Structure 1
């Protein structure tokens, strides 16, 4: 009976006579919130004919302490179910093609993308993972000492990786269950990311490729946690759109060859 807030972005051309593909968008965090502000990536996708549902799954901020704490020690379970319900809602809309719904997110949202493809492998048609956590034990242990307050908050929400909590953290880490992934995936990562290390993306890509699943990997040598340089944003968004047009919209382009990596390096002053 819990109501999950969300923001729906619908392309102008979407109608029951012209059904469009869609994406469930998951914010960062854990504990972030999608709000009604400008997102260049969401706008870019909507402008190119993709509907987007930005889900504020349980555990999101902005809706009170009770809602915020609902996903504590429940990641990869209740929050994932909320995202799947977002997909179900999209599928029920007359202007959406119910067979062409993917999931996208960055950081924690990237984790949710991989959790969806891993633990609910038949729900979403594709996944777009932007620098997402894939191994919670390693990520939580790699938090530097100068982020002590941040570390304490994450340990409270997710568990202590140096305790018995590590059993559950391993169970919810997609990296250890890549054999379950069956749908096309694109992963984007900055090599200088201090929060979600490059190895998180390297290893999830290698693991999923063993399944013979189409995987594209876009690595930016000069970016950290998020892509701030305009030329990199343009490159990243273009690669995402190209991937979605081939594997979700399925109306143009050539399938990406399995094993292809796009390693993008840009000149810096």
Structure 2
């Protein structure tokens, strides 16, 4: 009888935990997403996290062993960019930014001795890994981008070769100044390049001639290398491109004559830079795209069949991050809307799945709210892709989250801010307004020169959809936006002051006139998107219309924000409205990154919304 009572009490307590407010300290914990790596032999996992003392550490774990992970303190940097195993399965290559100031350095860690060596020590460069091959395991191709140079003097750096044993650094290929990306084969031979001129013309070239030319039609296009890998004869390269098409496709390009074959495409969504390539065989194994949710398209029948078996074991979306050289063990990222990411190792030869770690285990005790992909029609008939999260009870109000970029996009995944707001009783609408990336170039280009009208209308039309479809009180709908999302938030309050009850701008851009002063490669694209004439840019810049803002506004910034234009000033906003508040986080940049600061920020947001949305008359 006593045992039954204890189980009943335990079950009852668990339900209580599931129904109460989630503490901000639970919502916002250390994230490890994107910094996990599987060794080439498939026997070890490396990942970064913080230990009990909140110090940054590298963890090395032998898979399927039950052994405790080896902890290696890593105090050299806080912002880890990339983790790459060397082919000796002993050393790791790490790129990291210590002060979030774009000075990205390269480190080598010997996991057998727990020693750390800095390979490139230059305080004014951004180190980028370009190529690494099993055929030459002691050589690494890198570029060293200057971070403190006048725009008129800027030159895209040369391709350099670093000897990982001796530390010797030398020129691999000279860059005339316009080579943006390098097509390197498995023998570290340069097969083709991608160049861009001042008119945004993109060219793919072999060593003798230009084989393909097109306009760069959006900022995300070629923001990372389009080159995936080469066939064994070196005559064909797999790449991503929207060449002669609306959406980005997977192509196989003949680098001798420029002819291409379409390997995979989707009529509505772009393929993303998420793929697996077998460099030994010269074959593409799979490629990913983000429709409403992430999905993969397979080109290897064996991997596809094994994936179907794995699919039955896990919920949410499953992304194969890497496969060992034997195609035996996979590193898996499992994501869902109502649980943080989890990382697994899957051995497809014995159908065995092992959990590596789960992010934010504490929040799994709480009941979270489902996020559903939705769309609504804008006033001009354009289909606007979005995500809606409703609270468990009737919504007290609604918050529209406006992403930055402006060419970024919202995705179906766990979002602590969204879950925190829904847990507090708010409906949350994440809008992929026109100009968002991932839905084809027509969708993105629909925002060209329309930041001041049609893009703002998309947000208002999303608000009206909430009122019509979900009976949200139109007087209790607010906005939260970051970076260029912050610009949109400020613009809505300035140009449509009666539409929203309050707004929060985080690292928001308020003055766009700096865009008209841009020059050099890439500037023409910015001018196509935002405009160039000073009067036009002033007309759509909320900085010059701050006196029109009548609703409560909270402005959040990081003290060390290097991305936000320094000409921006809070003075016009603070002068004209007593309900404008400004908060600056010390030792933070364009993004608030520290978990404690994120938790504090959420408390501030929560109090602001309660005062100006829920308690406002």
Structure 2 partner of 1:228: 593
Q: How many residues are matched?
A: 236
Residues 1-269 of structure 1: pairs in structure 2 closer than 5 A? 1-14=381-394, 19-138=395-514, 141=517, 151=523, 153-160=525-532, 165-197=533-565, 200=568, 203-204=569-570, 206-250=571-615
Shift of 1:150: 5.8
SS in 1 for 2:576: coil
Q: CA RMSD in A?
A: 1.9
Deviations along 1:69-125, one digit per CA (max 9) or x if unpaired, are 001111121100000001111112345222100111101110000000000000000
Please state how far the C-alpha of 1:188 moved relative to its aligned partner.
0.4
Structure 1 moving runs of 4+ over 6 Å: none
Answer whether contact 1:183 1:213 (CA < 8 A) is retained. Answer: no
* TM-fit CA distance, 1:209: 2.9
Q: Deviations over 1:199-237 (max 9, x none)?
A: 52xx23x22333333112110121111111111111111
Give the distance between the partners of 1:92 and 1:213, measured in 2 at CA. Answer: 32
Greater Cα shift, 209-218 or 126-135: 209-218
Deviation of 1:45 after TM superposition, in Å, equals: 1.1
Partner of 2:47: none
> Matched residues in 2 for 1:191 and 1:198: separation?
12
Which stretch shows the higher mean deviation, 41-50 or 79-88?
Answer: 41-50
Q: Classify the secondary structure of the residue corresponding to 1:175.
A: helix
By how many angstroms is 1:156 displaced? 3.2
Q: Which of structures 1 and 2 has the larger relative contact order (alpha carbons within 8 angstroms, sep 6+)? A: 1
Distance 2:500 2:463 in 1: 8
- Give the Cα separation in 2 of the matches to 1:129 and 1:21: 18
Give the C-alpha shift of residue 65 in structure 1: 0.7
Q: SS of 1:218's equivalent?
A: strand
SS at match of 1:210: helix
1:198 to partner: Cα distance: 5.8
Mapped partners of 1:5, 1:64: distance in 2:
12
Q: CA 1:197–1:219 in 2, change beyond 3 Å: closer, same or farther?
A: farther
Mark the CA change 1:7 to 1:150 in structure 2 (over 3 Å): closer, same or farther: farther
Contact 2:557 2:585 in 1 (8 A): yes
Cα distance between partner residues in 1 of 2:516 and 2:610? 35
Is contact 1:194-1:224 (8 Å) kept?
A: yes
Q: Which runs of 5+ in 2 are unaligned?
A: 1-380
Q: Which residue of 2 aligns with 1:264?
A: none
Structure 2: distance between partners of 1:140 and 1:239: 35
Residues 149 and 27 (structure 1), Cα distance of their counterparts in 2 relative to 1, 3 Å cut: farther
Q: Distance in 1 between the 2:521 and 2:418 partners?
A: 31
Unaligned segments of structure 1, at least 5 residues: 252-269
